[in-house]
Chains A and B, each alone.
Chain A
Amino acid sequence: MFESRIALLGVVGCALLLLVIIALVRSNRLELKYSLLWIVTGAALLFVGLQPGLLERIAKLLGIQVPSNALFALGIVFLIWIIVYLTVAISHLMRRTRILAQQLALLRHRLDQADLPGLEQTERGLEDRTGRDLR
Chain B
Amino acid sequence: MAAQREQALGQEIGRVVVDDDRRNSASDPPAWLGRRRVLAVIPAFNEESTIAEVLEDARQCAPFADLVVVNDGSHDGTVARARAARVPLLDLPYNIGLGGAIQTAYHFAAAGGYQAVIQMDADGQHRAADVARLVEVLLRDQLDLVIGSRYLDPHGYRSTFLRRFGNRFFAVLLSALCRQRITDPTSGFRAVGPRLLHHFTRNYPFEYPEVESLLMAARLGCRIGEVAVQMQPRLSGDSTIGGWGAASYMVKVTLAIFIDLLRRRPTLRAGETARHV
A interface residues with partner B (beta carbon < 8 Å): 97-98, 101-102, 104-106, 108-109, 112, 123, 126-127, 130-135
* A98-B206, A102-B104 known; A135-B96 Cβ under 8 A: yes
State the 6 A-B residue pairs at the shortest beta-carbon distance, nearest first: A105-B90, A102-B104, A105-B92, A130-B94, A98-B100, A101-B92
- Count residues on chain B whose CB falls below 8 Å from chain A CBs: 21
B94 A133 Cβ-Cβ under 8 A: yes
Q: Mark B95-131, 1 if CB is under 8 A from A, else 0.
A: 1110010011001100100000000000000000000
- Of all chain B residues, the one with the shortest Cβ separation from A130 is B94
User: Which residues of B are in contact with A by a Cβ distance under 8 Å?
Assistant: 70-71, 73, 75, 88-97, 100, 103-104, 107-108, 111, 206
Chain A residues in 8 Å Cβ range of B89? 109, 112
Extra contacts besides A102-B100, A105-B91, A106-B90 (16): CB < 8 Å? A101-B93, A104-B92, A105-B70, A105-B92, A105-B93, A105-B104, A109-B88, A109-B89, A109-B91, A127-B93, A130-B93, A131-B94, A133-B73, A133-B94, A134-B96, A135-B97
Chain B interface, >50% SS class: mixed
Query: How distant is the Cα of A17 from the Cα of B132 in the complex, in angstroms?
Result: 64
Give bound CA distance, A135 to B103, whole Å.
16
B93-A106 in contact (CB<8A): no
Closest A residue to B206 using CB positions:
A98
Question: Counting chain A CB atoms within 10 Å of each CB, which of B73, B108, B111 scores highest?
Answer: B73
